[in-house]
Structure 1
Amino acid sequence: MTNKIMDYQSGSGEYKNWIITETEFHPEFLRKCEAIFALGNGYMGQRAAMEERYVNETRNLFVAGTFNKFDENEVTELPNAADVLWFDLKLNNEVFDLKQGKIVEYKRSLNLKNAELVRKITWVSPLGSVFDLVFRRFVSLDDLHVIAQKVEITPLNNCAEVVVTSGINAQVTNNGAQHFTEGQKRLYDGKYMQLVQTTTESEIDFVFNTYHSVKIGDEDIESDAMISMERRKIFQEFKPIQLNNCEKIVFEKITNVFTSRDREWMEESYCLDRLMTKSLNHIKELGTQSYDELFQYHVKAWKEQVWDNAPITINSNNDFDQLAIRFAQYHLTVSTPVHDNRMNIGAKGLTGEGYKGHTFWDTEIFVLPYFIYTNPTKARSLLEYRYHTIEGARRKAEDNGYEGAMYPWESAWLEDGEVTPIWGAADIITGEATKIWSGFIEQHITADIAYATWQYFQITNDVDFMQKYGYEIIFDTAIFWSSRLEWNDETEEYHINQVVGPDEYKEHVDNNAFTNYMAYWNIKKAMEYYNKLEKNEPILFSELSRKLDLGMNYLIWEAKARKIYLPSPREEDQVIPQDDTYLTLKTIDLSKYKNQENIGSMFKDYNLDQVNQIQVSKQADIMILFYLLEDLFNQDVKRANWNYYEPKTLHDSSLSLSTHCVLACDMQDDQMAYELFRRAAEIDLGPNMKTSDHGIHAASLGGIWQCVVNGFGGVRMLNGELRISPRIPVDWESLEFSFNWHGDELKVAATHEEVWIEKVTSVNEFIRLSVFDEEYVLRSRICVKVYQ
């Protein structure tokens, strides 16, 4: 798969289906590759801006968890930290600029296997000098504080003079908002530059150190440099270096990043001087190693932590499919701060300013399953974040007149509570800013977090987590829902009114089916665990009862649960009302918007109030209910609702396609499932050069993994039981993957004819599971024939 700019087949040999390449330089499309080529390690994320600077670029460096509020009228966001990437190059007294002169060859490639970004250029300057330039960089997975760069310059048609200016530039903002006060700047030992900056409201200290080394050919040289300081900036300008024709000069730049939010300062007494000293000593230690030496440690970490831990092999007629799942796993790794359970995943990961670094339900429903099945320790860390933010959830409930824990729609630092912005895009009819209601009334996230807690426990059997965190989350979210229910005298039922469901094109609706069913599930699960703990864990039960008044709340749950209104299928067509009014709204021809090139095209013709009155959905709503609580509905109901709602769903959310893909597998619509997978895989990785301007879609990438493993691989947890029922696409010959179940690693190899399942480890003597609805006991290895 190629287009004019993107090449998905540039890898060969051991790197086949591992490399994504940008083949041409187009300033108007800088942001696409800045996002998809971003580097990171969960501690920090470095957007892939180029070393030299361009007008249309976005230069971002984010450190997870370092939220700051620019102004009391704005919400907290991840601040854009200092730019450490920049190199200003003068070659024969001409500024290196790809918009000037002539580009003879251009190739910028992200190697997913070793997480290195490489740019190779042959450039003819305006005055006719010809140079080969190679730029390399990585953000270390071995040492989370390290960013490493290498720049190689070779004159090709004459001798040349090279002048390099480089350093740390804190003259950056978040789309105009300045989050830092200026701190100290200093050069140590004539070599190590240090810059300090502090966030304005949260008062988090950032310390950057950087050093350069220079080689001509393979020989180190001492190169004099003049130190300069400006406001929020420290840099060195190296004296001109003379090169012979075809003689290569190599600049290496190693940078470290530390903050006062680093976890070690929870246990140690913090002071800025200690942080500055520690980071300086660290950069001096790094100075004893070359780029290549640091890179080898980094490659080893990627191999052991990611590619050997959760390999997926797709034997497809379309090589893009294998590349796509690796791309998803790559970005799930670079975006996820699993080093610290006080942090979580932003909707754009650490690749852009979109959604301000905030955490949504995206984590629990779309990203967390990847880690639950492949790295339960990391999954636990992400869920512990939700426990550590529970006080903010309780405060939100109280502020809204409810009880229990009402989780924020958008979440940031532990104490921040609800951080959803109030105002959004322009209303094309009124000309006013559109109010964002999600932070007020999109409340299903509370049940989503409870569901994810339960799902984690069922798949991992992590009793310790439940005892310390999980039961309390499920109980307190159930307390919220019981207080949220509204009695309807006419129907003598409890309703949930004035909400936004997953379909955000329907605001202020009553009885959104997804919300009602998930709230009911949450309360019933709390009742189940109440009885379990009372019987089997009396000490823990007593502690939680005192804390949450479980005895009284159980009586409330018991009284209310059986009277919650749960929208049921209509007799005439088996369609479940998405909410009380959806099926009464007008219908229009949606083909124009279903076939759109860019999402959101409907809002060029209608405003949100008008869309609210049309039978059209942004994303899966009823459909995701069938995915999470699939055993509540039979196949006929699922098919009827698919036929009704999918034609009305624009998939304007990146979360939607993967959900529909998995459900299409369930309904044995193999061609539709594969088409939806391909569309989901192309959201970021595909040829559309504008979809990722504001950052990658982290939840969509988690959804791609679900398409492959939960959809085509058929892996599901149903009420604590394991089911594996693969449906391999026609275009695939085979699928191989591994996952964890109750502490054991299982490997699955599926073709169109048979499925092999192997228990690689021996935590459990055996595992009970179903394959194609037949029960099996897995002790070592089984093979099951596929009957279409």
Structure 2
Amino acid sequence: MQLGIRTNPSNPWILQEKEFNSQHLEKLEAVMCQGNGYMGVRATTEEHYVGETRDTLIAGTFDRFNGEVNELPNLPDVTEIEIEINGQVLDLNQGHVSDYLREINLKNGLLTRSFTWTVAEHSYRLKFERLVSLANRHLVISRVNITPLDGQAVVKVKSGINGQQTNNGSQHLIEGDKRLFDGTFMQMLTSTNESKINMAITTCHKFNTADNHVIKQQMKIGRRQVFFKFTDIIASRATLQFTKYSTLVTDRDNDFQGGNLSALRQFGLAMLKIESTKIFDEQLAATTTAWQQLVWNYGKLQIESSDADDQVALNFARYQLAVSTPAHDHRMNIGAKGLTGEGYKGHTFWDTEIFILPYYIFTKPKVAKSLIEYRYLGLTGAHRKAQDNNYEGAQFPWEASWPSDGESTPVWGAADVITGRAMKIWSGFIEQHITSDVAYGAMEYINATGDDQFALDKVYEIVLDAAKFWASRLEYNEKADRYEINDVIGPDEYKEHINNNAFTNYTAKWTLQTAIDLYKALKTNEPRKFSELNQKLDLDLCYQLWQERVNKIYLLQPNADGVIPENDTYLSLKTIDLSKYKSATHVGGIFNDYNLDQISNIQVTKQADVLLLLYLFEQKFAAKDKRTNWNYYEPKTTHDSSLSLSIHAVLASDLKMPDKAYELFQRACQIDIGPDMASSNDGTHSASLGGIWNVVVFGFGGIRLLGKTLRIEPHLPKVWTKLSFEIFWQQQRLQVTINKRHLSVKTLNATESVSFEHRGQQYRLSENESVIIGL
């Protein structure tokens, strides 16, 4: 695999940078980002450089600035450390740098950077280590070693809390009190402008010198800053070591029980006083254990491949998902860029339900459940959006932030290449398949886990409310005696204001039919719950509308060649040579030649649309439909969305095109860690990272959830000799192992028997039972 990030051939958990390059700062900041689901801290260097983006983001702390849409505010920075040695300010663009190594250990999130810096005829060895703890989600720790190699050195350090951060110029934070406690612990209070979330950031330093002498610190306060300055004289070959501890807390945190700002201040301060008594190595051991227990013990996955970087890519994807998933709080969800950057303002999209939720459903169902609870909490905002658009039920926002806030999509976006004017972002208005996606993801969780109580408590209401929206959204075509859905955007966002997008219409019908089935089942089997929901949603009236309309929803049918039209007009549009756009190094190259209005009149597709429909609902289509529509749509797809390659890779695997599937898999892996050194500047691609796991487990591993049936039909790539992974199915843990000759399925500590299907044959396994099937 061609990567832009170095890997360690002997350790698939390491990503490296072996040469400092100030042109690639943002890529490395995102790829080596540290976090724990509560907080994400980009891997900026301690010293400043032009072109860096210093981001510290806390999940759920959304705020508006000057009438703009909600976004996660960039919080005060605790990673900055300014170092001056013998009058030379540390700057790797000056002097000579040797033995440079920066690496992130994906196993435990440890970020290290070490190098020898030669400047003004003297050399110094520096080493930086940083942790964002998974054992205590509020804690950030840095350890710094400075060693002069050829003479005594006078070292001056400035380190503290810098609140002068912005979101591309927007300042979300109001300056608050700054003070020092016990001569050691500095603290800055701040709050968000509009959402009024209070925050306390507290920092201290602990020193370790060769002769244990005391280093005096002088506190300084500036505008939106509080920091210590200290000076030390280091003998040749001696080392000055100091550790910086910081806690970040907000009054939105679900582990904060206080009720006022004073309590919040003490919450952060008391925590820091405890955590700073533990040396760095003790903190590293604690977070390493937490990573193993909370992340790596679930969904174990091992690849044996001639390309060792395949395993690295999987480890990276799972690490990044853990960094950005707020598993601690169901009021929060996963942003399109996670917590790795300001891209998409921290907003949640359909990415969660279609591309990320499957990973958690099958590896850590408790997290999947939390992500669905977020959508349940979002019903208030979804109702408001429906009402604003004169619809009924729950119309889920295209971009979601705090669950009750409703639609959070910006109105204006990038410049039109032809007109030079800002283009309107229509997704928040007319990309409506998100409502079906939310219902689909929630039902996939129920089908895979059998969590009937959660279904009764929350999931069924989500689906019924979504169906209520669709019933009101349908438009009756009297002449054709059918219901249509006009003026929408489907998954292919290169087609705006189109009528009857196939994916949207099919999934709307699925939602209505699912609601009809739930109505009947609840009325018969759960009369008390039915009565509650009937009173809340007027289900009896809804049921009549659903029955009248569900079979009259217009579903686009295959043409004479078997091609399902993407929308009413797609197949009649002109075709052009797309080869240069499909082979381009950077995505979106077509916008160098056409604007979106022109692209709307060309048979070009941004990402899987009809093919996504066939992937999610394969039981509703003949087997040959996959191949026919692949042959038609894949050549017309530019894969300009990071969501596209993984879906195509799974389908290619299903279609027994192993070489194509593997090529697409590797391209998906390269989106963030590949050779494009600008691809992740605004943050990594959460949906693509979930998609990488989907390719391995659903594509190559052959796992498929078909209703309430688990099917396993693997298709290993030629370069892989073995694939082994664990999944949860019906609350039981399965180990699946695949090699060139056999499929092995084993239950692990099962309390009930489980069944699966392979090539039309049913298999049932009891506790700790296994079966080996020839391939």
Of residues 701, 705, 714, the one that matches 1:726 is 714
Among candidates 107, 111, 122, match of residue 117 of structure 1: 111
- Superposed, 1:684-763 pairs within 5 Å as 684-763=672-751
Give the C-alpha shift of residue 415 in structure 1: 2.1
Q: Percent identity?
A: 49
CA distance in 1 between counterparts of 2:267 and 2:105 reads: 32
Q: Is the 8 A contact 1:181 1:198 kept in 2?
A: yes
What displacement does 1:269 show?
5.2
Structure 1 CA distance, aligned partners of 2:578 and 2:675? 24
Q: Give, in whole Å, the separation in 1 of the partners of 2:239 and 2:479.
A: 83
| Residue number among 107, 110, 119 corresponding to 2:101 in the alignment | 107
What is the Cα deviation at residue 687 of structure 1? 2.0
Once the two structures are TM-superposed, the CA of residue 306 in structure 1 deviates from its matched residue by 1.2
Matching residue of 1:134: 127
Please tell me whether residue 92 in structure 1 is matched to residue 86 in structure 2: yes
Q: Tell me the alpha carbon deviations over residues 409-448 of structure 1, each in whole angstroms, 9 at most, x when there is no partner.
A: 0000122110100000000111100010000000000000
Distance in 2 separating the partners of 1:197 and 1:128? 44
How many Å apart are 1:220 and its aligned residue? Answer: 4.7
Choose the corresponding residue for 2:223, options 210, 218, 231: 231
1:317 paired residue among 306, 320, 339: 306
What is residue 168 of structure 1 aligned with on the other side? Answer: 161
Measured in 1, the distance between the counterparts of 2:197 and 2:729 equals 40
Q: Which residue of 1 aligns with 2:35?
A: 40
One-letter amino acid of the counterpart of residue 238, structure 2: E
The C-alpha deviation readout for 1:603-656, integer Å capped at 9, x for no partner, is 000000000000001000001101111111122111000000000000000000
Please give the alpha-carbon distance, in whole angstroms, between the structure 1 residues aligned to 2:66 and 2:658: 51
> Which residue identity is paired with 2:207?
V
Deviations along 1:261-298, one digit per CA (max 9) or x if unpaired, are 11145xx4510000101211111111211111111110
- Give matches, 1:146-545, under 5 Å: 146-217=139-210, 220-238=212-230, 240-265=231-256, 268=257, 270-545=259-534
Say yes or no: does 1:564 pair with 2:553: yes
Instruction: Please state if 1:82 is matched with 2:89.
Output: no
2:624 paired with 1:636: yes
Distance in structure 2 (CA, Å) of the matches to 1:389 and 1:6: 38
For 1:654 and 1:292, the matched residues in 2 are separated by 38
**Match of 2:764, as an amino acid?**
V
Q: Which residue of 2 aligns with 1:679?
A: 667
Q: Deviations over 1:694-737 (max 9, x none)?
A: 00000100000000111111111101111111111100000000
Q: Please, which moves more after superposition, 312-321 or 284-293?
A: 284-293
CA distance in 1, matches of 2:579, 2:86: 57
Cα separation, 2, equivalents of 1:593 and 1:190: 60
Q: Deviations over 1:228-252 (max 9, x none)?
A: 00010000001x2122211111110
Q: Deviations over 1:640-688 (max 9, x none)?
A: 0000000000000000000001111111111111001000001001122
What is the distance in 2 between the residues matched to 1:291 and 1:782? 44
* CA–CA separation in structure 1 for the residues paired with 2:694 and 2:258: 43
Contact 2:747-2:770 within 8 A present in 1 as well: no
Shift of residue 689, structure 1, vs aligned partner: 0.6
Matches within 5 A, 1:611-690: 611-690=599-678
CA contact (8 A) 2:732 2:754 kept: no
Residues 536-563 of structure 1: per-residue CA shift (max 9 Å, x gap):
1111111111111101100100000011
CA contact (8 A) 2:164 2:225 kept: yes
Q: Secondary structure at the match of 1:53?
A: coil
Superposition map of 1:760-775 within 5 A = 760-764=748-752, 766-775=753-762
Amino acid paired to 2:117: W
Cα pair 1:11 1:18 within 8 Å, conserved: no
- Aligned mates of 1:389, 1:381 — CA distance in 2: 13
Matched, 1:20 2:15: yes
Instruction: Give the distance between the partners of 1:41 and 1:736, measured in 2 at CA.
Output: 26
Q: What letter is aligned with 2:762?
A: E
State how far apart, in whole Å, the 2-side matches of 1:707 and 1:523 are: 29
CA drift of 1:767 comes to 1.1
TM-aligned CA distance change 1:250 to 1:2, over 3 Å = farther
Secondary structure of the residue that 1:211 maps to in structure 2?
strand
TM-fit CA distance, 1:7: 1.2
Q: What is the rounded CA distance, in whole Å, between the counterparts of 1:762 and 1:754 in structure 2?
A: 22
Residue identity matched to 1:225: Q
In structure 2, C-alpha distance between the alignment counterparts of 1:6 and 1:129, rounded to whole Å: 31
> Paired residue for 2:764?
777
The separation in 1 between residues aligned to 2:276 and 2:486, in whole angstroms, is: 61
TM-aligned CA distance change 1:242 to 1:384, over 3 Å? same
In the aligned structure 1, how far is the partner of 2:52 from the partner of 2:258? 40
TM-score (norm 1): 0.97
SS at match of 2:552: coil
| Deviation of 1:6 (Å) | 2.7
Deviation by residue 1:35-93 (Cα, 9 ceiling, x = unmatched): 00000000000011110001110000000000000012x10100000010011101112
d(CA) in 2 for partners of 1:350, 1:435: 26
Per the TM alignment, residue 692 of structure 1 is displaced from its structure 2 partner at its CA by 0.3
Moved more, 151-160 or 550-559: 151-160
Write the deviation string for residues 314-334 of structure 1: whole angstroms up to 9, x where unpaired. 000000100000000000000
Question: Does the 8 A contact of 1:771 with 1:784 survive in 2?
Answer: no
SS in 2 for 1:17: strand
Q: What letter matches 2:537 in structure 1?
A: L
Correspondence for 1:610 = 598
Letter in 1 for 2:40: G
- Counterpart residue type for residue 379 of structure 1: A
CA contact (8 A) 1:134 1:151 kept: yes
> Displacement of 1:564 after TM fit?
0.5
What is the CA distance between 1:490 and its match in structure 2? 2.1
Deviation at 1:24, TM superposition (A): 1.2
Letter in 1 for 2:609: D
Amino acid at match of 2:755: R
| CA distance in 1 between partners of 2:20 and 2:279 (Å) | 30
Distance in 2 (alpha carbons) for counterparts of 1:89 and 1:769: 60
**SS of residue in 2 equivalent to 1:521:** helix
* Contact 1:83/1:172 (8 A) holds in 2: yes
**1:577-608 Cα distance to aligned partner (Å, 9 max, x none):** 00000000000000010111000000000000
Hey, what's the Cα distance between the residues in 2 that align with 1:711 and 1:287? 46
Consecutive unaligned residues of structure 2, counting only runs of 5 or more, are none
Question: Residue 161 of structure 2 aligns to which amino acid in structure 1?
Answer: I
CA gap of 1:534–1:392, structure 2 versus 1, over 3 A, is same
Equivalences, count = 774
Do structure 1's residue 597 and structure 2's residue 585 form an aligned pair? yes
Secondary structure at 1:552's aligned position in 2? helix
Q: Partner letter of residue 49 of structure 2?
A: Y
Q: Which amino acid aligns with 1:768?
A: S
User: Aligned equivalents of 1:167 and 1:109: distance in 2?
Assistant: 24
3-state DSSP of counterpart to 2:404? coil
The ranges of structure 1 where at least 4 consecutive aligned residues each deviate by more than 3 angstroms after the TM superposition are 780-787
- Which deviations, in whole Å up to 9, do the C-alpha atoms of 1:133-157 show, x marking residues without a partner? 1110010111000001011111112
Q: Which residue of 2 aligns with 1:52?
A: 47
Contact 1:352 1:696 in 2 (8 A): yes
Equivalent AA in structure 2 for residue 55 of structure 1: V
